[in-house]
Chains A and B, each alone.
Chain A
Amino acid sequence: MIAFRDIFITGLLLGGIFALVSVGLTLQYGVARVLNVAHGEFIMVGAFMTFWLLGSANLNPLLSVAITGPVAFIMGFILHKTLFRRLMDTSPSLDIFEGKSLLASFGLLYVVQNLARIIWGSDVEGYNFLNSTVTAAQIPLNRLVALAFVVVLGGAFYFFLARTRLGKAIRASAQSPTTAELMGVDIRNVLAICFGLGLGLAAIAGSLLSTLFAIQTSIGLGYTVIAMVVVVMGGLGSITGAMIGGIILGLVSSTVTFFHPSLTMIAYYVIFIVLLLARPKGIMGK
């Protein structure tokens, strides 16, 4: 029973992080139609920026998200305005744009990863942050703090999408870009903002991850795969789906890790492939 409880709690905590990692990707694909293979690289960039800010300015990792998030947002906004916007204008159809933007993001993966390697090297880095444990269940405090952070952030983001004007414009653009444009949505800016928000969330997730795990400039692709699994599980483009999918994958991950740690990655892929075949639209897909 105690094992079961621990698996459940660990899974839930991990799931929160997975959800945060994935919401950014679903936003990029669902609205901006870019299946960003370089998503994980920005998680890595967020993690390293936090690590660097802690080392150079002694900035609290939780406060550093106020810097890493906006910086990544600006990067994403500019990237969309220059790179993906142009691809969109030169592509005759949406399918072609999706293919080309997938390839362009693969190029981006190389660029970001290698820039990071030049700046931060390729060693494994890490630091201790709030790693005392609380209660009888031996839950590390940093995981609890990270989960609380995810919940608050997720709530704020949900409020932003549901209630604000820009949030409504984003949801409308996700449903139909053409109609949204006809209704007076400044679609060019909305798409760029969505792409930027996606990267911003990735960087924030990276900042939080750096408080929990060791980091390295090559960790990006692993998180991209996790985010893709979650996003497909929840339905491409669905934000609620990404949240639910993240929690489910977190639980699966902690269960498999408990019984057979080396099979975790295989479990991800198996779930992913079975899911794609059985229900390609995902849990919340229409």
Chain B
Amino acid sequence: MTRDKSVTLGLLIVAFLILALLPQFTSGYLVTLLIDILKFAVLTVAWVVFSGPTGYMSLATAAFYGLGFYIAAVFSGTVPFPLLIMLAGASAFVVALGVGALTLRLRGVYFAIFTFALVLLVQNVVLEVERVVTQTRGRFVETVSTEGVYYAILIVFFLTILAAMLIRRSRYGLALQSIGEYEEAAAHSGINVVWTKVLTFATSAVFMGMAGAIIATRRTYIDPYIAFNLNTSFLPVLMAMFGGMGNLVGPVLGAALFTYIGEILLTRFPDLYMLIFGVVLIVSILFMPNGVLGLAQGVWRKMRGGGHAPS
């Protein structure tokens, strides 16, 4: 193991320990906020695993996340919490395999449109099924203690980070990178393009489904509008952009900052929240093309007097 790798691993373990011990010292608001941040960090990192290197902009996050919600609702009370989370991850994997196999031959903006429509289709189908077949509107989910939710999402968060790091450093990561750069060339150099894309897409969906199943227990009541919400698809993309996608620190930082800003806006200006949020989105896309990290690196470079920053 090189020195660089052991430093990263060491930092990760320290971060995990601090986060794991936190509920012992503090309670209430901070833990709730952290649950929200970790949820978005999972979604953002999972999104970056696939869309970052390949450049395929997936807006299907809400579909897999919402699937997790519904798995939690259907099996609520009948299976233990950890099994529920795994079940949600497995279902998301299977569904994503199907969706990926069907759609990943679409390129560029068509893939984005397709995944955008997929979320709305699923939402409407579930609404219709609830209206006609089960004759209900929404479902109830058994709640889990705040601490239980916190530890669950924390573990899933570290699993996501671990998976993202492993994929990045493996042959798969390089294959994905080359698909993003020039798909035909990647295919010609012996990469099974379709399989690589579909498998990574499905892997990233696992974590989205798990996060959905965990967060569903935070709400007692869910319905298709809550589960399959377009915001869940767009926010991870924006958070990844906000933080920067060059490495894994960026997306996590983006998720944390964005969630925190959203939280402040929501408590200070509940009426203007969405409006200000929209402005923040536009401004951050406009003025930070490389994210917060890119901005910080730029400033650092300028301060050092035009020298090249180590990459």
Chain A residues in the interface with B (C-beta under 8 A): 29, 35, 37, 83, 86-87, 90-91, 95, 98-100, 102-104, 106-111, 113-115, 118, 221, 225, 228-229, 232, 236, 262-263, 265-266, 269-270, 272-273, 276-277, 280
Are B112 and A276 neighbours in the complex by a CB distance under 8 Å?
no
Q: Is B103 among interface residues, defined by CB-CB distance under 8 A? A: yes
Are A111 and B279 neighbours in the complex by a CB distance under 8 Å?
yes
Question: B102: nearest residue on chain A (CB-CB)?
Answer: A277
Are B241 and A269 neighbours in the complex by a CB distance under 8 Å?
no
Q: Which residues of A contact B277 (CB under 8 A)?
A: 110
Are B112 and A102 neighbours in the complex by a CB distance under 8 Å?
yes
CA distance A102 to B109 in the complex (A): 9
Q: Which residues of A contact B117 (CB under 8 A)?
A: 225, 228-229, 269, 272-273, 276
Q: Is B21 among interface residues, defined by CB-CB distance under 8 A? A: no
Are B237 and A103 neighbours in the complex by a CB distance under 8 Å?
yes
Are B110 and A118 neighbours in the complex by a CB distance under 8 Å?
no
Apart from A110-B277, A276-B110: 20 A-B pairs, beta carbons within 8 A:
A35-B112, A35-B113, A86-B286, A90-B289, A91-B289, A100-B285, A103-B237, A103-B241, A103-B281, A104-B281, A104-B282, A104-B286, A107-B280, A114-B272, A118-B272, A232-B110, A262-B131, A266-B125, A273-B118, A277-B106
CA distance A277 to B103 in the complex (A): 7
Q: Is B260 among interface residues, defined by CB-CB distance under 8 A? A: no
Are B282 and A276 neighbours in the complex by a CB distance under 8 Å?
no
Are B113 and A228 neighbours in the complex by a CB distance under 8 Å?
yes
Q: Which of A110, A113, A270 has the most CB of B within 10 A?
A: A110
* Known contacts A107-B281, A110-B275, A111-B282; A99 and B124 CB within 8 A of each other: no
Q: Which residues of B contact A29 (CB under 8 A)?
A: 109
Are B278 and A280 neighbours in the complex by a CB distance under 8 Å?
no
Interchain nearest-CB distance for B251 vs A (Å): 15
Are A273 and B109 neighbours in the complex by a CB distance under 8 Å?
no
Q: Is B114 among interface residues, defined by CB-CB distance under 8 A? A: yes
Q: Which residues of B contact A83 (CB under 8 A)?
A: 282, 286
Q: Is B57 among interface residues, defined by CB-CB distance under 8 A? A: yes
Interchain nearest-CB distance for A271 vs B (Å): 10
CA distance A221 to B102 in the complex (A): 26
* Known contacts A87-B285, A225-B120; A280 and B274 CB within 8 A of each other: no
Q: Which residues of B contact A221 (CB under 8 A)?
A: 230
Chain B residues in the interface with A (C-beta under 8 A): 55, 57, 102-103, 106, 108-110, 112-114, 116-118, 120-121, 124-125, 128, 131-132, 230, 234, 237-238, 241, 271-272, 274-275, 277-282, 285-286, 289
CA distance A230 to B55 in the complex (A): 26
Are B285 and A111 neighbours in the complex by a CB distance under 8 Å?
no
Are A276 and B113 neighbours in the complex by a CB distance under 8 Å?
yes
Partner of B275, one of A103, A118, A276: A118
Could you jot down 27 A-B contacts, CB within 8 Å? A87-B285, A90-B289, A99-B112, A100-B285, A100-B289, A102-B57, A102-B112, A104-B281, A104-B282, A106-B238, A107-B279, A107-B285, A108-B282, A113-B274, A118-B275, A221-B230, A228-B117, A232-B110, A236-B110, A262-B132, A265-B124, A266-B124, A273-B118, A276-B110, A276-B114, A277-B103, A280-B106
Are A232 and B281 neighbours in the complex by a CB distance under 8 Å?
no
Are B103 and A110 neighbours in the complex by a CB distance under 8 Å?
no
Interchain nearest-CB distance for A272 vs B (Å): 5
Interchain nearest-CB distance for A47 vs B (Å): 20
CA distance A221 to B231 in the complex (A): 13
CA distance A229 to B116 in the complex (A): 11
CA distance A236 to B108 in the complex (A): 12
Q: Which residues of B contact A104 (CB under 8 A)?
A: 281-282, 285-286
CA distance A266 to B112 in the complex (A): 19
Question: B234: nearest residue on chain A (CB-CB)?
Answer: A106
Interchain nearest-CB distance for B56 vs A (Å): 10
Question: A33: nearest residue on chain B (CB-CB)?
Answer: B109
CA distance A95 to B110 in the complex (A): 11
Q: Which residues of A contact B108 (CB under 8 A)?
A: 95, 98
Interchain nearest-CB distance for A27 vs B (Å): 15
Question: A86: nearest residue on chain B (CB-CB)?
Answer: B286
* Known contacts A272-B117, A276-B114, A277-B103; A236 and B279 CB within 8 A of each other: no
Q: Which residues of B contact A236 (CB under 8 A)?
A: 109-110
CA distance A225 to B278 in the complex (A): 20
Question: B118: nearest residue on chain A (CB-CB)?
Answer: A273
* Known contacts A103-B238, A103-B285; A115 and B275 CB within 8 A of each other: yes
Interchain nearest-CB distance for A207 vs B (Å): 24
Q: Which residues of A contact B116 (CB under 8 A)?
A: 37, 228
Q: Which residues of B contact A114 (CB under 8 A)?
A: 272, 274-275, 278
CA distance A225 to B124 in the complex (A): 13
Are B121 and A109 neighbours in the complex by a CB distance under 8 Å?
no
Q: Which residues of B contact A90 (CB under 8 A)?
A: 289
CA distance A108 to B278 in the complex (A): 6
Are A262 and B128 neighbours in the complex by a CB distance under 8 Å?
yes
CA distance A110 to B230 in the complex (A): 12
Q: Which residues of B contact A107 (CB under 8 A)?
A: 278-282, 285
Question: A264: nearest residue on chain B (CB-CB)?
Answer: B124
Interchain nearest-CB distance for B76 vs A (Å): 26
Question: B235: nearest residue on chain A (CB-CB)?
Answer: A106
CA distance A114 to B269 in the complex (A): 13
Q: Which residues of A contact B110 (CB under 8 A)?
A: 232, 236, 276, 280
